Amino acid sequence: MKAVILAAGKGTRLAPYSGILPKPLMPIGLDGEGAFEPILDRLLLQLGRAGAIEVVIAVNYLAEAILRHAGDGSRHGLKLSYVFQERLDGNAGAFWRAAHLVAGDDVIVADSDNLMSDDDVFASMAETHRREGAALTVGVCEVERIEKFAIIKTDGSGAPVDIFEKPTDRAVWGNLAKSGLMILSPEVAALDPAISLAPNGELTTTGIVKHCIETGKKVSLHRIDGGFNDIGTWDEYIRVFSARLR
């Protein structure tokens, strides 16, 4: 299994700190030695626990800082490579630029601003993906504010039937949110990027999920124990950072 971390965004909602520090390097607590731990390091640790030795990081904004920090991945026991997302055309746009480097294998795709509290979340999700023979596995959890997330609608058996970005009608859509964590089979990773094209012109991971549901591919939902935190907003980042320092 391989992995792609989507780390190209500017993190404008974390200004002014994101003016000098790329979002993947924002500290989210302390490591075992008492030093600040960036979210990128936590993601790499979790990917390593899942056996994803080869990891591609898609970069753009302050890319040199990310490359200097993560390097070749050897200090994490990983093999890192990088792709440059020259145009910020969506999170799936970042993935498609890396797809040729992870071809032929199941691939974990992770946003760089979703903090998973369970360090074995990637490993348990990979187990679900293999056990169910899924074309696509999506990490999900229930949320209170559905208008902040892509929400997956399910049928009576819990199978996904649709996905919609930031709905407001909880009675229609429920409250099962797509996290920034997915596992794609080689079949899905080799699809035409156009399948993820949104009306606004961006290429989105939500579009990948929607395409797989609509074309009858096996889409598995993996409930994330403990949920996840989207630290891409200042209020949420401060809340999570403060809690992890206690």
What per-residue confidence (pLDDT) applies to 10? 79
Domain count, the chain: 1
At 151, phi and psi to the nearest 5? -105, 135
The model's pTM is 0.92
For 192-231, give the DSSP string. Answer: -GGGGB-TTS-B-HHHHHHHHHHTT--EEEEE-TT-EEET
What per-residue confidence (pLDDT) applies to 185? 98
For residue 174, what are the domain limits? 2-245
List, as own/partner pairs, every contact residues 18-24 make where C-beta atoms lie below 8 angstroms and the sequence separation is at least 24, other chains included: 21/62, 21/65, 22/61, 22/62, 22/63, 22/65, 22/66, 23/61, 23/112, 23/113, 23/232, 24/57, 24/66, 24/112, 24/113
Q: Which residues of the chain have pLDDT under 50?
A: none
9 membership: H or E segment, kind and range = none
For 97-145, give the DSSP string. Answer: HHGGGSTTS-EEEEETTEEES-TTHHHHHHHHHHHTT-SEEEEEEE-S-
CATH of the domain at 21: 3.90.550.10
Question: For 15-38, what is each residue's pLDDT tens digit?
Answer: 777 777 888 898 887 777 767 889
What per-residue confidence (pLDDT) applies to 246? 61
